[in-house]
Amino acid sequence: MSDELIQSIQKSLKEIPDPETGRGLSKQIKSVEVQDHTIKADVGITSFALPIKAYFQQQVIDHLTTAFPDKRILVEISDYHRAAMPLGQVGLKAKAVIAVAAGKGGVGKSTAAVSLALGLKKAGCSVGLLDADVYGPSLPHLTGTRGQVTKVDNKIVPLQSAGIPIMSIGFMVPPGEAVIWRGPMLHSAVTTFVRDTDWGALDYLIIDMPPGTGDIALSLSQLLPLTGAVIVCTPQEVALIDAIKAVGMFRKVKIPVLGLIENMSSFICPDNGKSYDIFGKGGAKEYAAQDKIPFLGEIPINIQLRKRGDAGKMAENFDDAEVAPHLEKIAFELTKCLAEKVAKEPTQTQLPVL
Ligand code: ADP
Single pTM value for the model:
0.94
Q: What are the pLDDT digits (tens) for 97-123?
A: 999 999 888 899 999 999 999 999 999
Enumerate the H helices of the chain as residue ranges.
2-14, 53-67, 109-123, 139-142, 183-195, 215-223, 237-252, 283-290, 303-310, 324-344
Note whether residue 354 is domain-resident. Answer: no
| Inside any domain, residue 353 | no
pLDDT per residue over 271-295, tens digit each? 887 888 887 777 888 888 898 999 9
302 Cα–ligand 1 center, Å: 10
Domain boundary among 79, 110, 134: 79
Of the residues 53, 79, 105, which one is the last residue of a structural domain?
Answer: 79
Residue with CA at minimum distance from ligand 1 atom 20: 108
Please tell me whether residues 253 and 124 are part of one structural domain. yes
Is 147 part of any domain? yes
Structural domain range at position 21:
2-79
Q: Does residue 351 belong to any structural domain of this protein?
A: no
Do 95 and 70 belong to one domain? no
Q: What is the CATH number of the domain that holds 311?
A: 3.40.50.300
pLDDT digits (tens, 9 = 90+) for 56-100: 999 999 999 999 999 999 999 999 999 999 987 788 999 999 999
**Is the domain of 280 the same as that of 159?**
yes
Q: Tell whether the model's pLDDT for residue 353 goes beyond 50.
A: no
Query: Which of 131, 269, 306 is the pocket-test mutation for ligand 1 (most atoms within 8 Å of CB)?
Result: 306
318 shares its domain with 275: yes
Catalogue the long-range contacts made by 244-248 (C-beta closer than 8 Å, 24 or more residues apart): 244/103, 244/287, 244/291, 245/103, 245/212, 246/101, 246/102, 246/103, 246/212, 247/291, 247/293
More confident residue, 219 or 130: 130
Query: Does residue 178 fall inside a structural domain?
Result: yes
**Are 307 and 169 part of one and the same domain?**
yes
Q: Do residue 152 and residue 256 come from a single domain? A: yes
Distance, CA of 48 to CA of 1 (rounded, Å): 37
Residue 352 belongs to a domain: no
Residues 118 and 52 in one domain: no
Mean per-residue pLDDT of the chain:
91
Domain contains 195: yes
Mean pLDDT of 347-351: 67
Pocket around ligand 1 at a 6 A CB cut-off: 102, 105-111, 138, 263-264, 299, 301-302, 305-306, 309
* Band of pLDDT at residue 350, cut at 50, 70 and 90: low
User: Are 186 and 286 part of one and the same domain?
Assistant: yes
How many A from CA of 200 to the centre of ligand 1? Answer: 29
Domain count, the chain: 2
- Specify whether 119 is located in the same domain as 223: yes
The mean pLDDT value for 13-19 works out to: 97
What is the Å distance from ligand 1's center to 37 Cα? 54
* Co-location of 53 and 95 in the same domain: no
Neighbouring residues of 7: CB distance < 8 A, sequence distance ≥ 6: none
Contact assessment for residue 318 and residue 328, using Cβ atoms and an 8 Å cutoff: yes
Instruction: Give the domain-ending residue among 59, 79, 99.
Output: 79
Whether 297 and 167 map to the same domain: the answer is yes
Instruction: Determine, yes or no, domain membership for 350.
Output: no
Do 8 and 137 sit in the same domain of this protein?
no
Which ligand 1 atom minimizes the distance to the CA of 133? 2
Cα–Cα separations (whole angstroms), residue 166 to 67, 150, 170, 346: 46, 13, 11, 30
